[in-house]
Amino acid sequence: MPGDEAVALRRLLVEELRGASDRAAVAGAQQLVLSLMRTPQGLPLPASLVVTVVDVGTPAAAARLELPVEDGDERDSARVPGGHVVRRVREVAVDSALTEPGTPSLAADYWLRREDGPHVGVLAFSTPLVALRDGVLPLFDAVVASARWHDPA
């Protein structure tokens, strides 16, 4: 790629990342994590994770929360060391200057309910690797399974 194109692409990427970060902050996210992982063959594994913790008032209210599900969504639940988790997986169309309009992306949302408190952790993963769904979902599951609640010091 010629130097001028690389500079323009880098500028566009920075703008996209700033926009994603700003949208996450406005939505109340505590963290935005970007994957720098590479496959054993050296190929990048692009993915993002937005983490938000929501106080829903009481543990009973947290237990009653339902993750919204639309046609075509896959939904399941499990117990993990951090609590009870519900996962929703779906394909979404991406609106980005870096991709063609309507490019599909794989979205996996996890609602992790703290057993002894009024908090729900929302972990929202996204990757353009829709075709590698069966490979990336176990990675996302492992990240969620490693999550633990910590009380502020």
DSSP letter string, 22-59: HHHHHTT-SEEEE---B-TTS-B---EEEEEEEE-SSH
Sign of CA dihedral 91, 93, 127, 79: negative
Least confident range of 10-24, 38-52, 100-114: 10-24
The three-class DSSP label of residue 150 is coil
CA dist 21 and 29 (Å) reads 9
71: left (phi over 0), alpha (psi -120 to 50) or beta: beta
Give the residue among 97, 153, 92 at the shortest CA–CA distance from 128.
92
Report the predicted TM-score, pTM, of the whole model to 2 decimal places.
0.81
CA dist 90 and 99 (Å) reads 19
Domains of the chain by start residue, with CATH: 30-145 (3.40.1000)
Write the pLDDT tens digit of every residue in 142-152: 999 999 888 76
- Can you tell me the mean pLDDT for 90-104? 79
Percent of the chain with pLDDT strictly greater than 90: 30
**pLDDT-derived band of residue 82, with 50, 70 and 90 as boundaries?**
confident
